[in-house]
Structure 1
């Protein structure tokens, strides 16, 4: 049962718009959220995904602000995260409201070559942005929490996002280290989480005004840094999953007061049908749970109309970058190995070498070398082996793959594979050697072809104890 702190109710009554009822707000806070997903268009189109799942009884209701987002019925929500298609990266379990910020960021016809996601984990918005970028350009995904960086990378790898570079910093450093570098910035700021009570009944149990004030101080500092990291003419989207104006509108107005000639608020009233029902006078989206039967959320779109002065001196360049560009011979050898498996090496991304490791860097990353330390850049393709290369799982999940070259597993075989077991297989396959296995013509991972079976090559940390067929 939801627990709403009386102090929170007294406070939020001052912020709720006049046309909305506090009684309706309290009622909706006690309702369970509708399950929602976003189809991963890096792997499959929404139309093809629906065609796969509708025969199983899945029913899809479109989410108005995300063309690849859907509310679901007709399935077991408890099994959603364990089903083959989720593990395979065909969809992301994502609350509907959290799909708003990337949609707002990409509302214009502008093509972004370089995007910063300032607070990325667990990766729902990062992978949504990667899909909107179609794996082109460069997406820097930052996460301050050490424990959440691993989760972020796992989701990026599962969803086949290859244009990312992960950093592990306090988001307040980007204005200094990446001054006016990015075409677009998403700041989904740490917040008090007032809008998440439908998912977490205890979210507001210990609500205190003093905590709100402290969080808002941090948000203002993050906002300044994000704006400084943005190029003139670029777009900044600021979002939270909280409801009070102190963490939302007031943070945006603070930025406007700091840079009055460089900040323009962009109205989101026409972002989707009925967006005006949640639009403030400034053009921000202030989504209360009862408006769209969703989590509470806040989204503001801000254009940087002109350059600003650098607040801090340019930092010294980072030294000893451990990667070098692959030679033509090394590149051709890697292309040949990938082609033999039905995989394609993207022409716009850079093949890099570190010791005996082969990495694929995002397009345009060279310009950021030395600017700051990166936790992980792009994806690891392979290690040099005695007789060629040992391909990595994340490469199979991210690189373009010829469907005809994927050895198709049936539903039960796919379950067995994801549970780390060898798969009995007598169908058409190469006589021996490394192969790609998949489901629905989309890769699940690597295996070794042996007489009568496929020997499992799934990394041990990806082996599941439980896999369902949804």
Structure 2
């Protein structure tokens, strides 16, 4: 039996779910007062990605890369992007989306990035992943997680769903709406959030979700897939919203989702008796080893036409490219970079050159390679977190003491010579930063915002 903790559920909340669930409601309330189940997943984009310090003895059935267990956010596995902490129920969402490598995918409400980074791991750096977050502060967290996981085919944007409608009508093959919700399914993981719950708040969330779903419909290709998910129990935000959505947009068909032990059918009686809602999926913590979740998968009828793409190119000058070429020749093995473009003084390997994105607030388009400075190029940590050891001419393995000092912002003295200036730094075999070598010293270039 898991340890009990105190979650102060309101009487109004209890009355609502007692009416909906009958005798089962007490089991749900008790489950909410137990400790949540922690889990993490691996990152297949990394070199030798299963080589982590955490036990892989408890795999999650419905995730190819998920495991039960705790991780330390200060560990090298986390810092270098080899692992991502994500609760078990949420892992299944990306598996249901099931993106294909050559597709255009939209994660419409993407922060903090758990589902975006999972989608990217399935796509294996192919196709286009657009990760949007309306809140600027959360969008920056999303961008930092995309960086840490070494993702190069993503565009991170900070816009409202409404902003995207006109330019991206019928554009995406698959769209995930992991909608902002009342969060009832996460009460035991975040007990403080209980205080914000009210019937009015649930209704407010449901209304917001309706608009987000309508925006998603406009941007989805004919024949495309829309996956809607929430971390709440609320019928208003789940079955009711989906029933109303497919009634408004009769081109949308609810399709079955494979259900693993503990997963349950959606409830037609909670969605105007639409029997197709049985094909949706619910996870309740009294029956499932994870938090509360709802997932519904829908297909848009029709056959997709060709999407016209107009491109832009903010190319560096020949002189600027020569600085990058010189850096590559001196510090990297044979590596072929394409789709290079310039934003202010930064050089990126673009995920897309589609002009539609010029109208948006883009935080990251593909992989940031580094910055042009006076007569030289300096690499970014984003690039290091995407590279493999074989891509580098020189890699230095730090010991425990050196690693702690470097994370703290200190330079490191070494007993080794390198012929090149910029070297990869690794710890426990995992690349995590550049180092600038000079006279048996590795000068610290670790970003100040990441130092510990």
Determine if the TM-score, normalized by the shorter chain, exceeds 0.5. Answer: yes
Deviation at 1:257?
Answer: 0.2
Q: 1:47 to 1:84 in 2, by over 3 A?
A: closer
**1:237 is the counterpart of 2:214:** no
Structure 1, 130-139 or 192-201: larger mean CA deviation: 130-139
- Tell me the TM-score normalized by structure 1: 0.84
**1:31 is the counterpart of 2:23:** no
Q: Structure 2: how far apart are the matches of 1:22 and 1:343?
A: 61
Deviation at 1:239?
Answer: 0.6
Deviation at 1:373?
Answer: 4.1
Structure 1, 187-196 or 37-46: larger mean CA deviation: 37-46
**1:99 is the counterpart of 2:91:** yes
**In the alignment, which residue of structure 2 is the partner of 1:256?**
246
1:183 pairs, out of 163, 173, 198, with 173
Q: Structure 1: how far apart are the matches of 2:336 and 2:32?
A: 47
Deviation at 1:70?
Answer: 0.8
- Tell me the TM-score normalized by structure 2: 0.87
**In the alignment, which residue of structure 1 is the partner of 2:300?**
304
Give per-residue Cα distances to partners, 1:264-322, cap 9 Å, x unaligned. 1121135xx426545555311111112222110111111111379xxxxxxxx999x7x
Structure 1 portions without partners, runs of 5+? 309-316, 465-470
2:64 pairs, out of 56, 63, 67, with 67
**In the alignment, which residue of structure 1 is the partner of 2:414?**
425
SS in 2 for 1:291: coil
Deviation at 1:249?
Answer: 1.1
Deviation at 1:256?
Answer: 0.7
Equivalent runs, 1:263-282 vs 2, <5 Å: 263-270=252-259, 273-274=260-261, 277-278=264-265, 281-282=277-278
Structure 1, 250-259 or 204-213: larger mean CA deviation: 204-213
Give per-residue Cα distances to partners, 1:113-162, cap 9 Å, x unaligned. 21111111111111111111112221111111122122111111111111
Q: Structure 2: how far apart are the matches of 1:103 and 1:23?
A: 31
Q: Structure 2: how far apart are the matches of 1:95 and 1:418?
A: 28
Q: Structure 2: how far apart are the matches of 1:444 and 1:196?
A: 32
Equivalent runs, 1:141-220 vs 2, <5 Å: 141-220=131-210
Structure 2 portions without partners, runs of 5+? 1-5, 268-276
SS in 1 for 2:222: strand
Equivalent runs, 1:321-470 vs 2, <5 Å: 324-326=314-316, 334-335=324-325, 337-342=327-332, 350-362=339-351, 364-366=352-354, 368-370=356-358, 372-402=360-390, 405-427=394-416, 429-431=417-419, 433-464=421-452
**In the alignment, which residue of structure 2 is the partner of 1:312?**
none
Q: Structure 1: how far apart are the matches of 2:117 and 2:334?
A: 21
Q: Is the 8 A contact 2:262 2:288 kept in 1?
A: no
Give per-residue Cα distances to partners, 1:212-247, cap 9 Å, x unaligned. 112111101100101111111111111111011110
Q: 1:93 to 1:344 in 2, by over 3 A?
A: farther
Q: Structure 2: how far apart are the matches of 1:395 and 1:426?
A: 27
Q: Is the 8 A contact 1:29 1:289 kept in 2?
A: yes
Deviation at 1:5?
Answer: 1.1
**1:293 is the counterpart of 2:282:** no
Structure 1, 111-120 or 244-253: larger mean CA deviation: 111-120
Deviation at 1:189?
Answer: 0.5
Q: Is the 8 A contact 1:343 1:400 kept in 2?
A: no
Q: Is the 8 A contact 1:212 1:247 kept in 2?
A: yes
SS in 2 for 1:216: helix
**In the alignment, which residue of structure 2 is the partner of 1:4?**
9
Q: Structure 2: how far apart are the matches of 1:374 and 1:355?
A: 13
Q: Structure 2: how far apart are the matches of 1:369 and 1:153?
A: 16
RMSD: 2.8
Q: Structure 2: how far apart are the matches of 1:130 and 1:339?
A: 29
1:136 pairs, out of 104, 126, 144, with 126
Deviation at 1:4?
Answer: 0.9
SS in 2 for 1:220: helix
Q: Is the 8 A contact 1:396 1:446 kept in 2?
A: yes
Q: Structure 2: how far apart are the matches of 1:11 and 1:318?
A: 52
Deviation at 1:44?
Answer: 4.1
Q: Is the 8 A contact 2:170 2:220 kept in 1?
A: yes
